[in-house]
Amino acid sequence: MIKIDCLVVGAGFSGATIAERMAAGLNLKVLVLEKRDHIGGNAADRLNDSGILIHPYGPHIFHTNSLRIREYLSRFTRWRPYEHKVLAQIDGKLVPLPFNLNTLHALFPAAEAHRLEQQLINQYGENARVPILKLRESDSENLRELADYVYRKVFLGYTTKQWGLRPEELSSSVTARVPVLINRDDRYFQDTFQAMPSAGYTALFRRMLDHPNITVRTGEDFFLSRNQIRARRIFYTGPIDAYYDYRFGRLPFRSLHFKHENISQERFQPAGTVNFPNDHDYTRCTEFKYLSGQRHPDTAIVWEYPAAEGEPYYPVPRPENESLYKRYRQLAANENNITFIGRLANYRYYNMDQAVASALSGCGVAA
């Protein structure tokens, strides 16, 4: 029997943050169990066979408006400034996403684009972010037609592939994440801080977990080991339904399958990510050298294919799924020494900074 102050299940952003804060902030002995054979969760990166830094679980670009989260993670990494650019293939053209004034002028005849631009500015103001559903409710027939165009060409096909459902079958929170930007900012994110860990995410996690009070055991399943561990406090970052042996049924998740390729040329595409809303089975292609800034005669890309089965990536935002999750949360509320934290345990889609913020809040130890 192993006796420990704190057991952390999972070594992604949530688990690593909790472990570091328990060890360094409270001087507790911490054991981290990670079922995969590596730390870092879905954000882990590694060198491929050609020596190119890749993200095996799809691209992860760090961005935040929180100075507190930036300063906390900066203890464990230096940063390489990076502003992600995404293009979408629409009507045979590669145009910027999110849909902005540059996208408008790329897809519409000049006179019509100019007229629509002026109507957008007059109604919503410069630099506004207008959710697509709000634009569809405009008093202007021209703007409603524009909204329908963006909905059909940018949103509908991508959403149907990504979720396996039509947009109207999903929570409105999904459409709220698809704005029309009334500016010419081609960056995919508009956060005040956008950067990549200079040595990669896995190096960042190693530094977070490099503490004499922390023991990390990878390749070990919590459910197979928990009877041999006695911990004063447990932080669980895995799927909450799995913890309760799917008592009320499985919480639906969408998954992804990845096709990685190494290509014998310096560049493959004109931006970090290219989306394919209306064509092909895959949703997007990412070229990793844009993200890392690495110089190499070859390049590495990944194609993403949404899937119903596989690793849980995205909780499916539907009212009945939220109701099912709340039944599991009621069970969790009766636990004495276990805290459920993170994307899978909270059945929420968190950006990386949100995962860190949630973990800091949940463990109760200031950064």
In this prediction the pTM is 0.94
**Residue 66 belongs to some domain of the structure:** yes
Q: Domain of 70: which CATH number?
A: 3.40.50.720
Report the domain count for the chain.
2
Q: Can you say whether the dihedral through the CA atoms of 151, 154, 157, 160 is positive or negative? A: negative
Cα dihedral value 162, 60, 267, 92, nearest 10: 30
**Residue 308 belongs to some domain of the structure:** no
Q: Give mean pLDDT in consecutive 10-residue pieces for the chain, a chain of 367 residues.
A: 94 98 97 98 97 98 98 98 98 96 98 97 95 89 95 92 87 76 96 98 98 98 93 97 97 97 97 96 97 97 96 93 97 94 95 97 81
- Domain match, 49 and 173 both: no
Half-sphere exposure of 316 (CA within 13 A, CB side): 26
What is the pLDDT, as a whole number, of residue 265?
97
Cβ atoms of 165 and 314 closer than 8 Å: no
**Residue 265 belongs to some domain of the structure:** no
Helix residue ranges per DSSP H, the chain: 13-20, 26, 67-73, 101-107, 110-124, 132-136, 141-150, 157-163, 172-176, 201-209, 222-225, 240-243, 288-292, 319-332, 352-363
What is the pLDDT, as a whole number, of residue 132?
86
* Residue that terminates a domain, selected from 148, 181, 214: 181
- Domain match, 202 and 176 both: no
- Domain match, 241 and 324 both: yes
- Domain match, 44 and 139 both: no
Parent domain of 171: 99-181
SS3 59: coil
What is the pLDDT, as a whole number, of residue 232?
95
Cα(166)–Cα(158) distance, rounded to whole angstroms? 10
What is the pLDDT, as a whole number, of residue 11?
98
**Residue 74 belongs to some domain of the structure:** yes
